Structure 1
Amino acid sequence: MERPRKPTLDTVASAVGVSRATVSNAYNRPDQLSAALRERILETAASIGYAGPDPVARSLATRHSAAVGFMLGQHLSAAFSDPAVSIVLDGLASTVDGHDHCLVLMPGGTEGGPRPETVARAAADVVVAYSLPDHAPALDAVRVRGLPMVVIDQPVLPDTARVEVDDFGGARMAAIHLRSLGHTRFGVLTFSLHPDDRNGFVSAGRLSGSTFRVTRDRLAGYLDVVGPGVPVWECAGSSRELGRTGARALLSSTPRPTALLCASDELAFGALQAVRDLSLAVPRDVSVVGFDDVPAAEHSDPPLTTVRQPLTEKGRRAGESALRLLAGGRPEEPIRLAVSLVERHSTAPLT
């Protein structure tokens, strides 16, 4: 039995008694029609089961996809498991929403960002790069396509819109706070220095060649206050389990640190658990400071002292920049958002 043919643009045009171009304008250029005519076309289309122009065909014809590409430095699971990433993404999505644009997620991998082939075939008119290393191949793929781009956090690129926070200043705040409490023995849990998924203690050579701007700046802020020679443990991501493993290693070194500086709240939550694993207590034996101030920081055990960054605003400002570029605007000057220290009960004077 032959299946009934799906209604097309021509079917609607014939039913209404107008040209094919007029029906197309009802969907793509509504300002070209009177409100009454457009309503009649849409009502007729609905009555005969026509859902509108095929989005793939429309993008091929117009060379526009009405999509914002979001390039992650990590696997796609990070967008949902890391609360800091989720909050930034929510701020971006809520800004783009309502402007007839969809969001295309491009996960990262071993190269520190999406594969160039992924970028080459992604249906996007503008790209938002989130926390990629300095020379990620995905960045070249964006340039080859000639797409406008907004960077969140890193890398620093010339003539490119960017939204970031004062990572160096925030890290200094955290370290100064611990110094003021009398601590002199520190350990640092940091993000990846290179996109190679390494976990372990960091050598001076590896430290000096980091390709991640955020890692460099936060480490520089910590070390500017506590001095060189502090043990640093590199984590291949921002997760509680990685923080737990790294903190256990730091707290097993001699002399044992009395304070841990963590590059994210997720790493700090893992550090809190590591202290308990070793039958120690926070903050009596070890003070712990995070970075981000995600919602869980206020409710951790104990509540976490951390550096607050405006995560939602970071995503929102990036979304506004992306919409501006889509409208034909030029990249604006980089936006740097302020951070602040939130003191809670995970830090205390050295006794």
Structure 2
Amino acid sequence: MPRSTPGRRPATLASLAAELGVSRTTVSNAYNRPDQLSPELRKRVLDTARVLGYPGPDPVARSLRTRKAGAVGLLLTENLSYAFRDPGAIEFLEGLALACEDAGQGLHLVPASPEREDVASVHRAGVDGFVVYSVPEDDPHLAAVLERPLPTVIADQPRAASVDHVGIDDHAAIQRLARHVIELGHKHVGVLCMRLGRDRNDGFVSLARQHSARYHVQRARLAGLRDAFEAAGVDWNTVAVVERFDHSLDDGARAAGQLLDRDPQVTAILCTSDLLALGALDEASRRGLRVPQDLTVTGFDGIAEALRTELTTVRQPVLDKGRTAGELLLSTKDPGRPRSVTLDTELITGKTSAGPRGYEEPWFGP
């Protein structure tokens, strides 16, 4: 076995091949195509490379040569920490990672704050394709992705006519939840929603802002609630909707506090995410309100903590959504024929919803 010499320059592919008395192709195969060598020969190549300080093939040069990066890019228009903090994002990321593992691909996170216009992170990303996770319709990072000639799949939002998409029917899913609340007897309700645009707004939302929301998932959920309650005779103009730009328990609690300060007589708070709903539960407890005796609270997503809390919510298969997005991206398809996958949801009737105090269900007997 050769010995390394202190101060000696690291070996190159050519010098390693010469040391071993083999071709440069053999050395390359030890790293890139191990099935082409016997286990004994590959071990000898790698052991000698380690002693001589050969770092392996240059991944940048290899990607330039093959035009393959061996990685999928996940575009998040959030700060990087969001992918490891938000329960829904974590579950989506796990599903996408499983699809990448099955295909032998890496995963490259491409974070981009919604408050920044700089799209350099998209231009620099060395990836073979993009999964775009829940971004607004007018996001410049999405435009930068679509300008690159790479396969792309959009998860949740927005919908683009020429791009593969995976998501759920948000309008129909939240309508089922709204009908459940209506059947319990609630007409005096309030709503907490996630951000509706790239501009920061932490407060009450006008009808115009609801209709023009750039995040179409939130727009669809608000429209589903509006359609259900208007069908039940509730004037949507009288329903207070509070928006939160950031997505956390504390934001849900503060939004619920704003709502209850303006209208302490509401009997139900419907939230477009479970995190907001869990925050609303904390605020209700702080105010001494019993759930569901004094206040009904509902969420949307079906994250693990919501299910442990027995929150009334809509469960969507977030992990399956991530896996499906990855499988769509990594599978072959006919060019020019974008695919759309709509996953099923489930209404979970938990312990945070009940009829308003003093309400008696209508009697339809003889």
**How far apart are residue 275 of structure 1 and its match?**
1.0
Identify the residue that residue 8 of structure 1 maps to in structure 2: 12
Select the residue among 313, 333, 347 that pairs with 2:320.
313
Match of 2:123 among 120, 123, 135: 120
Q: Are 2:199 and 1:196 aligned?
A: yes
Matches within 5 A, 1:30-179: 30=34, 38=42, 40-46=44-50, 48-111=52-115, 115-179=118-182
Residue 104 of structure 1 aligns to a residue whose secondary structure is strand
Separation of aligned partners in 1, 2:94 and 2:246? 20
- For 1:262 and 1:98, how far apart are their aligned partners in 2? 36
Is 1:253 aligned with 2:265?
A: no
Deviation, 1:122, is: 1.1
Counterpart amino acid of residue 312 in structure 2: T
* Matched-pair contact (CA < 8 Å) for 2:161–2:338: no
**Corresponding residue for 2:339?**
333
In the TM superposition, residue 336 of structure 1 has moved relative to its aligned partner by 0.4
Q: Describe the SS at the equivalent of 2:339.
A: coil
- The alignment's TM-score, normalised by the length of structure 1, stands at 0.91
Q: Residue 315 and residue 110 in structure 1: after superposition, are their counterparts in 2 closer, same or farther (change >3 A)?
A: closer
Deviations 1:277-334 (Å, cap 9, x if unpaired)?
222111111101111111111223xx21110000110111111112115x99776521
Deviation of the 1:26 alpha carbon: 3.5
Q: 1:323 aligns with which of 287, 308, 330?
A: 330
Alignment counterpart, residue 284 of structure 1, candidates 283, 286, 293 = 293
Query: Deviations 1:2-28 (Å, cap 9, x if unpaired)?
Result: 722112211221123222233223433
* Structure 1 residue aligned with 2:275: 266
Q: Contact 1:191 / 1:263 at 8 angstroms: preserved in 2?
A: yes
Is the 1:162–1:335 contact (alpha carbons within 8 Å) kept by the matching residues of 2?
yes
3-state SS in 2 of match to 1:221 = helix
Amino acid at match of 2:290: A
Please give the alpha-carbon distance, in whole angstroms, between the structure 2 residues aligned to 1:111 and 1:147: 25
Query: CA–CA distance in 2 between the matches of 1:18 and 1:254?
Result: 80
**Bigger CA drift: 70-79 or 42-51?**
42-51
- Deviation per residue, 1:188-222 (Å, 9 max, x gap): 11111111121110012211211111011111111
Deviates more, 1:327-336 or 1:190-199: 327-336
Matched length:
347
Shift of 1:47: 5.0
Paired position in structure 1 for 2:350: 344
Distance in 2 separating the partners of 1:255 and 1:184 = 14
Whole-angstrom distance in 1 between the partners of 2:263 and 2:144: 47
For 1:237-252, list aligned pairs within 5 A: 237-252=246-261
CA distance in 2, matches of 1:66, 1:104: 10
Alpha carbons 1:111, 1:137 under 8 Å: kept: no
Letter in 1 for 2:303: V
| Letter paired with 1:135 | D
Q: Contact 1:16–1:41 (CA<8 Å) still a contact in 2?
A: yes
Deviation, 1:145, is: 2.2
CA positional deviation for 1:108? 2.5
Q: Which amino acid aligns with 2:339?
A: E
**Aligned counterpart in structure 1 of residue 186 of structure 2, from 183, 186, 190:** 183
Larger Rg belongs to: 2
Assess if the C-alpha contact under 8 Å between 1:111 and 1:136 holds in 2. no
Shift of 1:102: 1.6
Q: CA RMSD in A?
A: 2.3
* Secondary structure in 2 matching 1:336: strand
**Contact 1:174/1:261 (CA < 8 Å) preserved in 2?**
no
Q: Is the 8 A contact 1:250 1:256 kept in 2?
A: no
Q: Counterpart of 2:143 in 1: which secondary structure?
A: helix
With 253-262 and 122-131 compared, the bigger mean Cα shift is at 253-262
TM-score calculated relative to the size of structure 2? 0.88
Aligned-residue offset at 1:135: 2.1
- The answer on whether the counterparts of 1:243 and 1:271 sit within 8 Å (CA) in structure 2 is yes
- Tell me if structure 1 keeps the 8 A contact 2:77–2:114: no
Q: What SS class does the counterpart of residue 110 from structure 1 fall into?
A: coil
- Structure 2's unaligned 5+ residue stretches are 231-235, 358-366
Q: Which residue of 1 aligns with 2:245?
A: 236
Deviates more, 1:246-255 or 1:183-192: 246-255
Partner SS for 1:80: helix
Q: Does residue 299 of structure 2 align to residue 293 of structure 1?
A: no
Q: CA deviation at 1:54?
A: 2.1
Q: Is 2:23 the partner of 1:19? A: yes
Q: 1: distance between equivalents of 2:355 and 2:6?
A: 81
Sequence identity percentage: 43
